Amino acid sequence: MASKPRARSLRQHQGSRPGVDNERRQTDCRKYVKCGAVGFLLKDCTAEELTLAINDTVAGHPHLASAITGKLVENYLNSVRQKHPATRAGLTPAECQVLKQIADGKSNKEMAAALNISIKTVEAHRTNIVNKLNLHGTAELTKFAISVGLTSLSNDTLER
């Protein structure tokens, strides 16, 4: 016996006033997705977006209104950054890479080559790291890098 296709839900937001609060749209979108919707559109979406959303959901792919997708992704990335101790400390991704290299015992020259940046840039990142964390010396920086999970005390690191 052939199985029936699974019903899919495509929800259209019914905001009736212009400039409906983006926070409300995001809340509604999360609520409907949690309830099983695989798509979410705004009332004022174009015919092309409606057609694309229908085709996506029929094919089993989710579709969210383009007007709120960027904000949802931005909020997600901010929450991920807030959860990582190194970014909470204000380190940029490049500074995190340099901190990991410092903790792994690399010289400035080795870091520059590994990260494809100049030695001056490595030195600038190192200065920024020291100033932001108020930690001085390789041992303190290494301890911090281990505590936030940028590196570990693996055999590879210890054999150096």
User: Which residues is 55 bridged to in the sheet?
Assistant: none
Residue 78 sits in the same domain as residue 106: no
pLDDT of residue 14: 53
**What single DSSP character describes residue 61?**
-
The structural domain count of the chain equals 2
- Say which residue the tokens 């009332």 belong to: 43
Which pTM value belongs to this model? Answer: 0.47
pLDDT of residue 119: 94
Residue 43 sits in the same domain as residue 96: no
Residue 64 sits in the same domain as residue 106: no
Instruction: Note whether residue 3 is domain-resident.
Output: no
pLDDT of residue 40: 83
Q: 97: closest CA among 79, 115, 83, 85? A: 115
pLDDT of residue 70: 76
Instruction: Note whether residue 77 is domain-resident.
Output: yes
Residue 150 sits in the same domain as residue 104: yes
pLDDT of residue 81: 58
From first to last of the 160 residues of the chain, give the pLDDT tens digit. 445 445 555 555 555 444 446 677 777 777 877 788 888 888 888 889 889 988 988 888 888 887 777 777 777 766 665 565 665 578 888 998 999 999 999 999 999 999 999 999 999 999 999 999 888 889 999 988 888 888 887 645 444 4
Q: Is-contact 46 65, C-beta < 8 A?
A: no
Instruction: Note whether residue 2 is domain-resident.
Output: no
Range(s) of the domain holding residue 46? 10-83
CATH number at residue 102: 1.10.10.10
End position of a domain, from candidates 54, 83, 112: 83
Give the separation between CA 60 and CA 64, rounded to whole angstroms. 13
End position of a domain, from candidates 83, 111, 134: 83
